[in-house]
Amino acid sequence: MAFAPAPATDLARAVDFYGSVLGLEHVETNPFAAVFRAGPVMLRVTKVDALAPQPFTILGWSVPDIRVTIADFASRGVEFTRYDGMPQDSLGVWTTPNGDQIAWFRDPDGNTLSLTQFV
């Protein structure tokens, strides 16, 4: 089984965001990590003392309808990221040259996450 790691400085805040806001199934929390199910993949949000968020996506989801998912996440307080010089529409969606649609947002620690609707 594949698993995806992500860092967080505050596990309680991570549980609220990944569980309550994004709607992932919270499996357990221990002193070292909070574990979630994202379909068949385990997401292990690991406790770190300090974090310098990377300038790229560390975790993303393939979604069937990006606009519906954006509206759902936005209704729960998720703000989508806009990048200077990148042609994004009013919802923050960028369409790739092959037609895939991508939108980015950040978790409470500043990690960049994304939604992608593949053609």
pTM, entire model: 0.94
How many angstroms separate the CA atoms of 14 and 96, rounded? 30
Given the DSSP bridges, would you call strands 112-117 and 57-62 parallel, antiparallel or unpaired? Answer: parallel
Specify the domain boundaries for CATH 3.10.180.10 within the chain: 1-48, 56-119
Instruction: Give the containing element (helix H, strand E) for 29.
Output: strand 25-29
- Measure Cα distances from 99 to 17, 43, 50, 86, 116 in Å: 30, 28, 37, 15, 11
Q: Along the 119 residues of the chain, how does pLDDT read in single tens digits?
A: 779 999 999 999 999 999 999 999 999 999 999 999 988 999 999 999 999 999 899 999 999 999 999 999 999 999 999 999 999 999 999 999 999 999 999 999 999 999 999 99
| CATH for 56-119 (3.90.226.10, 3.30.200.20, 3.50.30.30, 3.10.180.10) | 3.10.180.10
Give domain 1-48's CATH superfamily: 2,3-Dihydroxybiphenyl 1,2-Dioxygenase, domain 1 (3.10.180.10)
